[in-house]
Amino acid sequence: MNIYRDIKDVTKDKKTVVTIGTFDGLHKAHKQIIDKVTSLARQNELRSFIVTFEPHPQEVLKNKTPDIKLLTSIDEKLRLFEKAGIENVLVLKFTIEFSKTDANEFYESYVAGAIGLSDLVIGYDHLFGRNREGSFETLMELGKKYGFTVHRVEEIDIEGKPVSSTRIRLALAEGNIEEANRLLGYEYGFDGIVVEGDKVGRTIGYPTVNLKPVKENKVMPREGIYCVKVEYNENNYYGMMYHGYRPTLSEGIQRALEVHIFDFNKNVYGEKITIGFLKRLRDDMKFSSKEELIKQIDKDKKDSLSYIKEFESRKQINQN
């Protein structure tokens, strides 16, 4: 996949199908748009092209608000774009000045004027340009002006409600990771850098890898213990992850993100690990003794291994 961060590096070619958006979460509704892009590209021998933004517009426009939380970092989105079969991505730097670009100017300077296109794919609620002034009707007029066809993808519902980033955030806040994963179409997770911990896990027979999220304002699911998938150095493992304030083993002041990886004994300090949440096992809780905590962790491991067996079985069935 070709990744461009400067519009000047893009070769203009009208034989291109384009979609544009922030795609936070890249959930099933987004995937439906991307599938339309790749389908049109295959059928008509066109380039597939996504235009997205970094930082996320909300991070710039609401920079005084500390609680802007995102579902996906730019690196996560790029991986998902590539997995979905996209050939080209333009990552535009979003600034206050860029936010003042009106709808017509955006298409003249970037899309039709610099990338070129024969087809544009958008979601049913797509708005764009300064103050989100550009609408579907605006795009129909721009299509006539620059000679491209607009394809609007209708909303996708699951269990009678539209798939949306807001709905996924709510599921994560409730700790309903399986609901979030169903709406996303993949395991929700994050990229983390391994940092030094206090090594308390070793003293109870469960050494852990302590993680600092690469994207600090990444949405995290509700505190608790989770069965997780772990990717390190292109190899996949399983484990159980603690997300909470460690009320039994510490003062419960600083949030901990630590994972015990099954069948893993490598030194990975300073390296990147990718976590995928599979199932929430239980709430965080305070135990009266270290022995009681160990007994519960033993049960957590048993529950994790049982779920992993079930997860692998389902995956095998889906592949066949």
CB 69 within 8 A of CB 103: no
Instruction: Calculate mean pLDDT across residues 101-115.
Output: 92
Give the model confidence (pLDDT) of 146-164 as tens digits.
999 999 999 899 988 999 9
- Residue 250, token pair as written in the block: 């510490």
Q: How far is CA 76 from CA 87, 98, 168, 224, in A?
A: 16, 24, 16, 23
- Residue range 195-250, pLDDT digits in tens: 987 666 677 788 899 999 999 899 999 999 999 999 999 999 999 999 988 766 55
Max avg pLDDT among 175-179, 203-207, 292-296: 175-179
The amino acid occupying position 64 is: K
In total, the chain counts a number of residues equal to 320
**Residue 151 forms beta bridges with which residues?**
121
3-state DSSP call for residue 179?
helix
What is the C-alpha to C-alpha distance for residues 104 and 134, in angstroms, rounded to an integer?
Answer: 8
Ranges 73-77, 116-120, 186-190, 313-317: which has the least confidence = 313-317
Q: List residues bridging with 17 in a β-sheet.
A: 48, 119
pLDDT category at 256 given cuts 50, 70, 90 is: confident
Distance CA 21, CA 173 (A): 24
pLDDT for the residue 316: 80
pLDDT digits (tens, 9 = 90+) for 50-75: 999 999 988 888 765 557 889 999 99
The confidence score (pLDDT) of residue 247 equals: 63
pLDDT at 320: 65
Amino acid making up residue 298: D
230: alpha, beta or left? (left if phi > 0; alpha if psi -120 to 50): beta
Query: In Å, how far are 92, 234, 250 from 301, measured between CA atoms?
Result: 44, 24, 22
CB atoms within 10 A of CB 284: 17
- What the block records as the tokens of 110 is 């970037």
Euclidean distance between CA atoms 272 and 231, whole angstroms: 9
Instruction: Using alpha carbons, list the distances in angstroms from residue 1 to 89, 177, 264.
Output: 8, 30, 32
Residues whose CB falls within 8 Å of the CB of residue 57, separated by 6 or more in sequence, listed in order: 22, 94, 99
Please tell me whether residue 299 adopts helix, strand or coil conformation: helix
Residue 129 has pLDDT above 80, yes or no: no
Could you tell me the end-to-end alpha-carbon distance of the chain, in angstroms, rounded to an integer?
28
What integer is the mean pLDDT of 271-288? Answer: 93
Mean pLDDT, residues 24-39 taken together: 96
Q: Using the 8-state DSSP alphabet, how is residue 277 labeled?
A: E
Omega cis (within 30) before 55: yes
Q: Residue 113 — pLDDT band, cuts 50, 70, 90?
A: very high
What is the model's pLDDT at position 172? 97
Q: pLDDT tens digit string along 81-99?
A: 999 999 999 999 999 999 8
| The pLDDT of residue 66 | 54
DSSP secondary structure letters along 208-241: -EEEEESSTTB--PPSEEEEEEEEETTEEEEEEE
The Cβ of residue 117 has, within 10 Å, a number of other Cβ atoms equal to 25
Phi, psi of 296, deg, nearest 5: -70, -40
Q: Given this model, what pLDDT does residue 202 score?
A: 72
Which phi and psi (to 5°) does residue 100 adopt? Answer: -85, 0
Which pLDDT score, from 0 to 100, does residue 212 have? Answer: 94
Domains within the chain, CATH numbers bracketed: 2-158 (3.40.50.620), 188-291 (2.40.30.30)
- 34, 11 Cβ separation under 8 angstroms: no
pLDDT at 251: 58
pLDDT for res 26: 95
